[in-house]
Amino acid sequence: WNGLFDEVKRLGEEGLPIMGTCAGLIILAKKVLGATIGQRFLELLDVEVQRNAYGRQVNSFEAPITLSFSPDPFPGIFIRAPRILKVHGRARPIAFYKEEVVGVEQDNLLGLAFHPELSNDIRIHEYFIEKVR
């Protein structure tokens, strides 16, 4: 696992496109609150996140998300989702739940607190594909 982890970090630093959803956002984050001792992170994305900030599995929910690149709401599915507490450096917000940032973009990276892959809406995946072309 360590060899793979180090290789993904190196490739991310070199510009490999990476999209992290939910736990993937946590792994990409530069700072994580609520992390387990010894847990490693890629520390590539200029955000601070808090693990499981919306509650336990039973508190999972679906809500409309506002996207910076599309006029129509996106069906956000939150399952034990992390909360983005701070966005800094080169990261910029691209998705919002109410007034809260739930998605960011930074160069070759996309980090989302929700699960776009669980909806039938492919706009975020299309956005990522366009980004990496």
Which residues are annotated as catalytic?
A: 22, 115, 117
User: What is the CB neighbour count within 10 angstroms for residue 32?
Assistant: 21
* Length of the chain, in residues: 133
Question: E-strand spans in the chain?
Answer: 18-21, 29-33, 45-50, 61-67, 70-78, 83-87, 92-97, 100-106, 109-112
